[in-house]
A and B are shown apart, each in its own frame.
Chain A
Amino acid sequence: MAEIVIDSLYKKYKPGLLKKPVQAVDGLSLKVPAGTVYGLVGPNGAGKSTTIRMLLNLIRPDRGEVRIDAQQVISGGFLHQVGYLPENPYLYDHLSLRELLRFAGQACDMSAQQIRERIETLTHQTGISHALKRRLRTFSKGMRQRAGLCFALLHDPQLVVLDEPMSGLDPLGRKMVCELILDLKHQGKTVFFCSHILSDTERLCDRIAILHHGRLVREFEADDLRAFRNKERSLEDEFVAAVGGGN
């Protein structure tokens, strides 16, 4: 079980000498309780991916901090319990799927037996077990996404961070990812993901936050989500209202 606490996070990008700095994340604070599925939605450039990258210590905040199970991510000791799928993952083209997943297992200090078992389970679950010997360069976008998911989940992490997990997937693929996320939830894992697909987010999440211009503008909890699912309210309307029609 892993809990995420994001506390007053700020991040400004400096695109170039003569260009204006961009405030990607602007005082973001949120808490993801252990064992929940938390969805982060927002228009393009809202700061979702930047937040995820700070969560993984790929970039550092200007101010504020991110903690996983009370441990600051800057210490780096949390990665054994995190699985991450970036948006449009670019995998090692010349490796076969089996080689890529074996690498993921070795990187996490798993035994050869554990790696073999997890590869069988995950590739079966994601429907790409037939492609284990194929080079990744021959994979379609959807298959790459599935391979990326297997890479993220191979070491059975407690916290799963997914950046646009439905991106590039056909309806069957989307259904598979949804089932996978629900399965992770039933196993008590914490799932933190961002997506543009509101219907999936609404269906899967225990909590949803809307991010706009790097700020948390709305957060929905169990009661709101129940209302969305019962069609009493619409997440889409709330989203449009929160981001001001995209302005």
Chain B
Amino acid sequence: MLKRVGALAVVTCKEGIRDRSLFGILLFALFVLGLNVAVAGFFMRDLGKVTVDMNLAALSFAGLLLVFFIGINLMAKDIDKKTIHLVLSKPFSRGEYIYGKYLGLVLLVVCTLALLLVFSTTTVAGVNAMYPEYFGGFSWSVYFWAVAFIGVQLALLCAIVVFFSAITTSSFITLVFSVATYLVGVSIEEVLFYLKSQAAAGEVAASETLRAVLEIVAWLVPNFSAFDLKTEAAHGLALEPVRLLTSAGYGLGYVLILLWLATLIFRRREFN
């Protein structure tokens, strides 16, 4: 079983790495990193914070593009073009197919992030060397943790893509649902916080029903802000091991649930 899942993961990752769109995404990320070095001197203060923020944002955005455009294609193209007929004619169970595809996507994300991290580290180190006075509180370990959690966030997003690919018949619908889930997941915490604080201050009259619906949505949709360590990395704030463990466990839990559901649905699916 592991051999089959591993073989499919490697094939999926290779297909993604050799996709020309990946070069576009990498070039875009490198452009942002280069831009960071070029414009660093224009900032009069908080230069270190801006550099770290910009680097992490570039990695995160490149990862999102990777998952939404290449990742979805890797899973949906198999079904659209009927390559899945060939794969499922081999002794793959439907579950092995789902796990193989997922691990392939994660492997692709890890390889791409690792490459971008090399460039990003060079950029941050370069700006740090040019303007050391602005990097007083900067910590490499917090920076690397922030990148690692971008990886966790993208791994969760890959599971969302696999889940929606398993239940829909079109890659476009998968894209719409995945992007929507991501946007809701990124903003739901802030929306809830805003509603509660404004309601408490008596400025907004939020109905109980709306609040209840939002609470349910917050439970259903993964809270992506749990993996966002940009503020900590930008200010060099210490990270609590408990928070790291909780966030990683939260992400892993969601991934396992999504893959389990995807497998259940995929087992019942027919491939015409």
Contacts and interface: CB of A to CB of B under 8 A. Distances in A.
Nearest to B85: A86
Given A90-B83, A104-B90, A95 B272 contact: no
A42 interface: no
Interface of A: 13, 50, 53, 56-60, 76, 79-80, 82-84, 86, 89-95, 99, 103-104, 106-109, 135, 148, 151-152, 155, 161
B19 interface: yes
Interface in B79-131: 81-83, 85-93
B8 A90 contact: no
Interface residues of B, number: 26
Contact of B86 (A57, A99, A106, A148): A148
A94 B14 contact: yes
B82 A90 contact: yes
A107 B270 contact: no
B46 interface: no
B81 A107 contact: no
Contacts of A60: 270
Given A58-B88, A93-B15, A95-B14, A107 B4 contact: yes
B18 interface: yes
Contact of A58 (B6, B14, B85, B93): B85
B42 interface: no
A93 B86 CA distance: 14
B8 A107 contact: yes
Contacts of B4: 106-107, 109
B11 interface: yes
Given A53-B271, A58-B271, A79 B15 contact: no
Nearest to A163: B85
B45 interface: no
A103 B18 contact: no
B89 A103 contact: no
A94 B15 contact: yes
B19 A76 contact: no
A89 B91 contact: no
Interface string B1-16: 0011011101100110
A72 to B, nearest CB: 16
Contacts of B14: 94-95, 99
A102 to B, nearest CB: 8
Contacts of B91: 79-80, 107-109
A14 to B, nearest CB: 11
Given A53-B271, A58-B270, A91 B93 contact: no
6 contacts: A58-B270, A76-B93, A91-B86, A95-B11, A107-B4, A109-B4
Nearest to B267: A76
Which of B15, B89, B272 has the most chain A CB atoms inside 10 A of its CB?
Answer: B89
Contacts of A148: 86
